[in-house]
Structure 1
Amino acid sequence: MTFKHPITILLLCLLLASCANTVKKPKQDAVAASAKAVAISQKYIIADLHVDVPYRLEKKYADVTQATEGGDFDYPRAVKGGLDAPFMSIYIPAKIEAEGGDSTALADKLIDDVEKIVAAAPDKFALAYSTEDVRNNFEKGIISLPLGMENGSAIDGSLDKLQHFYDRGIRYITLSHSLSNHISDSSYDKARPAQGLTAFGKELVEAMNNTGVMVDVSHISDLAFYDVMQISKVPAIASHSSARHFTPGFERNMDDQMIKTLAQKGGVIFINFGSTFVSQKSLDARNAYKKEFDAYIADNNLKEDSEQAQAFTADYFTRNSFPFANLETVLDHFDHVVNLVGIDHVGIGSDYDGVGDSLPIGLKDVSTYPNLIDGLLKRGYSEADIAKILSGNLMRVWEQVEAHARNH
């Protein structure tokens, strides 16, 4: 997903063809999974809570039912990695609501696009509206494409639209994104008008519980998180966040008390793989670049995506190599959560196709889940523990949400 996150604008040159030869990319074969890890990847359902394929294809179409040149996801790589249930992110840019645009229309368009992927290859992909669907598709050898909405702006203040998107397959909603919206303050936005959730946001969380939509606390402010914890009658999720312990001051990640509170309520944090999420060194490099980039475009009255701005970025990364995280860095986040709250509260939320080329060495695309599994094995995780990380923890929360909704 091109320039989706504010933190990934730092990697403009990694995403632009004009800069293709200016950045030295780490070799993917730096990590090789063991036979046992590969076997585990095929034995258990692997669910990834955040894969940004729909918006990637909105920007530049590719047939992901076949091997593709770019991006992090396609069918052959998913099969190689053992991926069974990637949540397709229905991503709505925050500026659409901020500028008075139609977020609902884009959400429907992106859902249409996922349905077209399934229609083009029903022997490879299927929609999944429930935990039962995911299990049935797994038994058939078909990859499920459940849906999560990233940024609730498409709800547009209407509980009827919540029901509409549930009917279309949305099974979690990230309440806000890079800007505070009509539902929740954002962790990225200095403006916090609601000081947490808005009045409608509080109503929406309760309605999501009753409808059967998981509440996603990634992206929202700390105060909004604690509002969700007070209101939600079922466990919540953080679909693609990491541990703030390793990135102090980076509110987009979750601090230890938040992780503990999420776990006490039965929830799960799904670890984001992006280098700037998991590594302070990578985040510092991003911040240094961003400071110079912002000053340059301000001094020259440029737009961020202008050719002159792109040229600046290309030159910057020619002079300054980007310090990628690696598999071990990501594993540290899993360890931290497990040591803090136990094995039942962590999972995978890679943000593939959402963080550009900032992905860590050893986890560059959806073919590499066996590398993660191998790393977990080497750190002493049992097969049963790994099965919980791969999908067991998700399925538990999702089933609790389904059960609650059936009773309301």
Structure 2
Amino acid sequence: MKKIVLLLMIAVAATACKTDPKETESMSEEEVQQKADSLAQALIITDGHVDLPYWLKGRGIDKITPENGSLVIDAGEGDFDYERAKQGGLDAPFMSIYIPARLQETGGAKALADSLIDLVGSMTTTYPDKFALVGSPSEVQENFRAGKISLPMGMENGAPIGTELENVNYFFERGIRYITLTHSKDNQISDSSYDTTATHQGLSDFGRLVVREMNKTGIMVDVSHISDNAFYDVMEETKVPVIASHSSCRHFTPGFERNMSDSLIKRLAENKGVIQINFGSNFLDEASQKSRDENQEKLKKLLEEKELSYDDEAAKPIIKEFNTKNPYIYADVEKVADHIDHVVNLVGIDYVGLGSDYDGVGDTLPEGLKDVSQFPNLIAELIRRGYSDEDIARICHKNVFRVWTTVLDYAKSNSGQY
């Protein structure tokens, strides 16, 4: 009976969240954009997944100092820096502590996690007037009032936990507030949506313990990257809502298990969780996926014919010419709004957020959302579609903050951790 009532509530919410689009028909495009720009500055915008730490690591940066600090302030490289974030109204990007799956075999996962956490910390010690580490929504709100960008952290791949359950608490103390249970390969916790081995047929026995420990400790469970079977196992174990920090809707990309099916999204809503839409074109549009896959196959054959590998110096002009003649099909900001619409129409306004994957999806970002300065373009599209200011506030931060607060409160009431 409780489940039926909840589903009815979700159905009502799905039909009652938007204002009438006719209310915006009288607005000029300039007025829509002005309102979007104003909302982007007035509202807290949180992004579930920004891969800046590993992006910096790939450029040989282990610590932000005044000498290299332009990379995070105003360099205009990559997808994120302070000036562009302020321009776009981004206030609380979750810094991804990304752990490549190869470290599950070679070792070093925990050491890399610690080094990336330290790297994020160095941003705040070098620029304390601009960045601040946070552990809760209330701290984000405090920094927002002070004009600072908050840097909560989420760990992408639970491999650094190893086989020691106490490492869950260790990473909470280090500032981690969500953990993506696995990444591109099955690990000791969970099967991956990208893997085909189905090592555990879902969560491992240890993975079930990890989910319970995350609940107890106050770390959000992130179901992005995990297999469908693992998702349903998480639903059996968790006592609190979960997030999908950077996933989109499989409705638009049939067969792409990395995205969430309608069934999964409905179950996520029953759990009162949130799906945070990924901006990568391959996540948004089947046509983008197809163009990428076809181009990769053609380029592979071309290089093989010339007995070259992708990394060879002689291959670079060939690759450049190929990409010019075979352009990638990018999605656009309207497609991101389509995914938001789909979730809202399916389960309601309370279960969707933003998880761009900036600095993580390479050159696949959609037209109109190429970097963190362009969040107002998405807000403008939502305004055109009749979303109210309150709807947009829920999408931008309130839905995720609700989950985050619930998880912290549950941990405090059950263990005194927080």
Taking the aligned partners of 2:218 and 2:180, their CA distance within structure 1 comes to: 14
CA deviation map 1:53-99 (0-9, x unaligned) = 0001001145344211310100000100111100000000111113x
Q: Which of 378, 384, 388 matches 1:382?
A: 388
* TM superposition shift of 1:319: 2.1
Equivalence for 1:121 = 127
Equivalence for 1:148 = 154
Equivalence for 2:87 = 80
CA contact (8 A) 2:241 2:271 kept: yes
Equivalence for 1:46 = 45
Equivalence for 1:223 = 229
Equivalence for 2:4 = none
| Structure 2 counterparts to residues 56-95 of structure 1, below 5 A | 56-60=55-59, 61=61, 63=69, 64-95=71-102
Confirm whether residue 183 of structure 1 aligns to residue 182 of structure 2.
no
Taking the aligned partners of 1:31 and 1:74, their CA distance within structure 2 comes to: 26
Taking the aligned partners of 2:199 and 2:314, their CA distance within structure 1 comes to: 35
CA contact (8 A) 1:55 1:91 kept: yes
Taking the aligned partners of 2:196 and 2:31, their CA distance within structure 1 comes to: 42
The AA in structure 1 aligned to 2:57 is E
| Structure 2 counterparts to residues 194-213 of structure 1, below 5 A | 194-213=200-219
CA contact (8 A) 1:65 1:121 kept: no
Q: Describe the SS at the equivalent of 2:373.
A: coil
Taking the aligned partners of 1:306 and 1:206, their CA distance within structure 2 comes to: 47
Q: Which has the larger radius of gyration?
A: 2
Equivalence for 1:284 = 290
Change beyond 3 A, Cα 1:34–1:288: same
Equivalence for 2:113 = 107
Change beyond 3 A, Cα 1:119–1:80: same
CA deviation map 1:335-376 (0-9, x unaligned) = 000000000000000001111121011011101111111100
CA contact (8 A) 2:45 2:89 kept: yes
Q: Describe the SS at the equivalent of 1:94.
A: coil
Q: Which runs of 5+ in 1 are unaligned?
A: 1-29
| Structure 2 counterparts to residues 263-302 of structure 1, below 5 A | 263-294=269-300
* TM superposition shift of 1:312: 5.0
* Runs of 4+ that moved beyond 3 A: 30-33, 292-313
CA deviation map 1:282-313 (0-9, x unaligned) = 00011112333455677788765444565553
CA contact (8 A) 1:185 1:196 kept: yes
CA contact (8 A) 1:347 1:391 kept: yes
CA contact (8 A) 2:285 2:331 kept: yes
Taking the aligned partners of 2:278 and 2:382, their CA distance within structure 1 comes to: 16
Equivalence for 1:139 = 145
Taking the aligned partners of 1:218 and 1:263, their CA distance within structure 2 comes to: 15
Taking the aligned partners of 1:153 and 1:33, their CA distance within structure 2 comes to: 45
When structure 1 is superposed on structure 2, of 64-73 and 280-289 the one drifting more is 64-73
What is the TM-score with the length of structure 1 in the denominator? 0.89
When structure 1 is superposed on structure 2, of 172-181 and 297-306 the one drifting more is 297-306
Taking the aligned partners of 1:111 and 1:350, their CA distance within structure 2 comes to: 20
Aligned length, in residue pairs: 378
Taking the aligned partners of 1:300 and 1:155, their CA distance within structure 2 comes to: 44
Q: Which of 335, 340, 343 matches 2:349?
A: 343
CA contact (8 A) 2:32 2:383 kept: no
